[in-house]
Amino acid sequence: MSMKKILAVSSAFSSAFSYLLAQEKPQDSLKNKLNIGFQATIISQHHPKFSADYTGDNSLQPNSESATSLTSTLYINYHFNKNTQIIFTPEVAGGKGLSGATGVAGFPNGEIFRVGEPTPKVYIARLALEKRFDFKNDNQLRFVVGKYCLADYFDNNPIAHDPRTQFMNWSLMSSGAWDYPANVRGYTMGLLAEYVFRNNWSLRANYALEPTTANGADLSYKMGKDFGLTFEIQKDFYKEGNLFTRIMLLGYRNQAPMVPYRLAIQQNVNLTEINGERNTKYGLSLNLYQKLSEHLSGFMRTSWNDGKNETWAFTEIDNSLSAGVNVNGKLWHRSDDNFGIALVINGISKDHQNYLKDGHYGFIIGDGNLNYGRETALEAYYNLCFMKYYNLSADYQFVNHPAYNQSRGPVSFFSLRFHFQI
């Protein structure tokens, strides 16, 4: 990051940091706490040869292919007191996705992104200040400012959110049509406000920076021009003290130099060949969790965006519907194990379809032609937990019409995942 960018961010966020820290009075009876955690996740994937009438620059390669990804994260939380903490998370990521993490909109590995370089690299994933204010009747107000991932705070379905132990497919770990602001690794700079009242209602609002280019590594510090706004309302229902039902409604509006698909079609060029003017993308997501019995839980997500302008940060999905179940291993006397199975159906807008049919490319998909059909994925996994800190998962995904193309596939993905966390 250049000195100019550092100064730009500092001028915007330093006042917020200073104000939040100033609100807390020291408490002699409360000792400062330093919490340290660690995780490592390795995912090896393979797909056998599959049928394809043609293959483009961003296609999943039809020949047999294998790939492995690695992430390793150190969690450091320093508590100034019970209501104020600094979150610092250095991370190492390496390896690669199948076909360079292209060719499937709902990509099968949630631990890999299109970074282009398989060599492990160290970077700061999170560096943020969190401040909480407690009120009567269990009401709370929380602010977070700094660098983080929006998925840390939004779209949190208890059984379909974490690709390290749950579903791996991008469109099952998150709402597929939520093009949330982030750099290529999934992180951004932002400000979050959250209010929790009556211990079961939550309201969240977030301002975040967008990348300078679609799926780019660098964030834009033109904070009044390139940004995303995200809002979410969440209602939790409890039965006998345990979470029983969760309903989340999310809305967002992004602004960045996104190119309209129609303009690219008119000029007969790829999106990257046009200097885009600032346009917007807006969308909605409905996310449901339901505990069906002591051992069985279910979820459903549906999401949509307007699909007029290019995808900017997450993946090329304009509408998505998913549902699945989780079975806890307590049923067979292994209470820390879990089995999950889910189905997701993804689609894109008519403008997006026409753009790909004309032979153009996005940053995730593009076969050089398009015989449109909805991309459908079925995923099933078993997560075996042993020695408390270790998890080993076997995962299978079946994808029909990868990248929305009826002329390619179907394809099967076989995965083995190892996860360690303390």
Q: How far apart are CA 144 and CA 10, in angstroms?
A: 15
Architecture label for domain 3-421: Beta Barrel (2.40)
Q: What pLDDT, in 10s, does the model give residues 74-87?
A: 999 999 988 999 99
Q: Name the burial class of residue 155, with classes exposed (0-12), middle (13-18) and buried (19+) by CB atoms within 10 angstroms of its CB.
A: buried
User: Is residue 116 very low, low, confident or very high in pLDDT (cuts 50, 70, 90)?
Assistant: low
For 117, counting Cβ atoms within 10 Å of its Cβ (0-12 exposed, 13-18 middle, 19+ buried), the class is exposed
Q: Is the pLDDT of residue 39 over 50?
A: yes
The β-bridge relationship of strands 296-305 and 227-239 is: unpaired
Q: What would the mean pLDDT of 250-276 be, rounded to a whole number? A: 92
Q: Which helix (H) or strand (E) holds 357?
A: helix 350-357
Residue 313, both tokens: 């940060």
What is the average pLDDT across 384-407? 98
Sign of CA dihedral 92, 379, 215, 75: negative
Average pLDDT of span 220-238: 96
Strands (E), 240-278: 242-256
| Confidence tier at 243 by pLDDT (50, 70, 90) | confident
Q: What is the mean pLDDT of residues 406-415?
A: 98
331 burial (CB, 10 Å; 0-12 / 13-18 / 19+) is middle
pTM score, whole prediction: 0.90
CA atoms of 345 and 180, how far apart (whole Å): 19
Distances (CA, A) of 391 to 69, 129, 330, 416: 16, 31, 16, 11
Q: What is the DSSP letter of 37?
A: E
Contact in structure between 309 and 283 (CB atoms under 8 Å): no
Q: What is the pLDDT of residue 14?
A: 44
Q: Which two tokens stand for residue 135?
A: 């009120």
Count H helices, E strands: the chain? 4, 16
What single string gives the DSSP state of each residue in 62-86?
SS-EEEEEEEEEEEEEEEEETTEEE
In this prediction, residue 274 carries a pLDDT of: 87
CB count in 10 Å sphere of residue 126 = 20
